Amino acid sequence: MGDQMTSQNFISQKREGCTKIRKSPSFPLYQRATKGGFGSVLTALLILSSPAVAFAASGDKAFTPTNIFVPFSTPAHAIYQNASLVLTICAAIFLVVGGLLAYSIFRFRRRPEHENLEPPQVYGSNQIELAWTVIPILIVIVITLATTRTIYDVQGALPPPGTVNVTVVGHQWWWEIRYPDLGIVTANELHVPVTESGNRRPTFLKLESADVAHSFWVPQLAGKTDVIPNRRNVMWIEPTEPGTYVGNCAEYCGLQHARMLIRVIVHPPGDFENWVAAQKQPPVDDPQLRAGRDAFFSTSCINCHVIKGTKAKGQFGPDLTHLMSRETIGAGVVPNTAENLRAWVRDPQHIKPGALMPNMQLSDAELDQVVVYLASLK
């Protein structure tokens, strides 16, 4: 794999020059919570005390693609707001307790003249006991109410008109992405429209698993949701900035769990419809590609893959009808280039050991033909 670009390089390359990532859209609830003296002071304390937030503020690009402190979607904002509140409260508690502790250690430290004295002993003080009981209870109530409201806002949301419905099926180790209303099936790259003010276009996801437990997580768009066999979980995203967002499976699911990456491509207004139209096109039947086609259809590739309008109707692997419209191969393992595609078809195990796609033992000539055919699936 020496000359192949790693997905890590690939991600940072794709993100470079994307200045929008720094700007977090305003969020009315958050502004309300932090406006004014006390809120501002707490926010400042939080920023000073949390290394993660300091990274978010420092503009370190390496930390932005999966930074939960730079949300770009309505549910991610709600979670960020709640997390900020909890972190702020915890930072304030830390400063008060740590400050009092440091002060006491210094102010009441042992001195030579105290050699034979005992400090004053306090027993059964109602004031002190009430203080350390009532204040923590109030803090817990505030956190509980705020968290309950966030859970209600995120999990209780109903799909507005204009919602895109998607079914995501977790497989070892890739994501099947189906648009039941649009008749589109793709893999590993979820395409969705952007939400603008006055035109909400959220995407509601039904999450299913074909094998073991996975977890769908794109940190800048929503919290993580487990993908469980024989169960259907539901989540939604509502991105507010076009761009590519990355995430990954967040539940250990076997050998290649770490290489089960997700890309969410958020299209600018109107552009999502172009993508849908392109995905609905049938594959081009070019007579020049006959050799590659025949080579492909004579192998057992067709037992696992679908190419629409052909006899390839397998359901185990990713739909290949528009393979070349995807940015990566193997769920984000390598960029989808001609060399990588060839290397992948030659021996998937070399690139992604344990992947369920076997080495088909194609000859060099067959390999060339198959790759030329696959490269035509735009």
Q: List interacting residues with ligand CUA (CB under 6 A).
A: 170, 173, 214, 249, 251-253, 257, 260
Please calculate the CA angle 153-242-222 and round it to the nearest 5 degrees: 30
Question: Which residue, 201 or 257, is less far from ligand CUA as judged by CB?
Answer: 257
**Shortest gap between Cβ of 251 and ligand CUA (angstroms)?**
5
Question: Which residue, 214 or 352, is less far from ligand CUA as judged by CB?
Answer: 214
**Shortest gap between Cβ of 248 and ligand CUA (angstroms)?**
8
| SS3 track for 143-159 | HHHHHHHHHHHHHCCCC
Q: Using alpha carbons, list the distances in angstroms from residue 316 to 170, 227, 279, 322, 329.
A: 11, 17, 20, 17, 16
Rounded Cα–Cα distance for residues 79 and 151 (Å):
8
Residue 329, helix vs strand vs coil: strand
**Shortest gap between Cβ of 221 and ligand CUA (angstroms)?**
18
Contact 60, 21 (CB under 8 A): no
Q: How far apart are the first and last CA of the chain?
A: 25
Question: Which residue, 249 or 371, is less far from ligand CUA as judged by CB?
Answer: 249
**Shortest gap between Cβ of 245 and ligand CUA (angstroms)?**
18
375 token code pair: 């490269």
**Shortest gap between Cβ of 259 and ligand CUA (angstroms)?**
9
Question: Which residue, 21 or 169, is less far from ligand CUA as judged by CB?
Answer: 169
**Shortest gap between Cβ of 359 and ligand CUA (angstroms)?**
23
Question: Which residue, 93 or 255, is less far from ligand CUA as judged by CB?
Answer: 255
Question: Which residue, 216 or 296, is less far from ligand CUA as judged by CB?
Answer: 216
**Shortest gap between Cβ of 66 and ligand CUA (angstroms)?**
15
Alpha helices in 59-166 (DSSP H): 74-107, 126-155
Q: What are phi and psi of 127, to 5 degrees?
A: -60, -50
Question: Which residue, 253 or 355, is less far from ligand CUA as judged by CB?
Answer: 253
**Shortest gap between Cβ of 324 and ligand CUA (angstroms)?**
25
Question: Which residue, 78 or 355, is less far from ligand CUA as judged by CB?
Answer: 355
Q: Using alpha carbons, list the distances in angstroms from residue 192 to 177, 221, 235.
A: 11, 12, 14
Question: Which residue, 95 or 212, is less far from ligand CUA as judged by CB?
Answer: 212
**Shortest gap between Cβ of 353 and ligand CUA (angstroms)?**
15
Beta strands, E only, the chain:
164-171, 174-179, 184-187, 189-193, 203-209, 214-217, 225-227, 233-237, 243-249, 261-267, 328-329, 334-335
Q: Using alpha carbons, list the distances in angstroms from residue 357 to 184, 187, 304, 347.
A: 23, 15, 9, 9
Question: Which residue, 168 or 371, is less far from ligand CUA as judged by CB?
Answer: 168
Q: In one letter, which amino acid is 348?
A: P
Rounded Cα–Cα distance for residues 341 and 343 (Å):
5
Contact 243, 206 (CB under 8 A): no
Kindly state the greatest CA–CA separation across the chain: 102
168 token code pair: 């995501």
108 token code pair: 């009441």
**Shortest gap between Cβ of 168 and ligand CUA (angstroms)?**
11
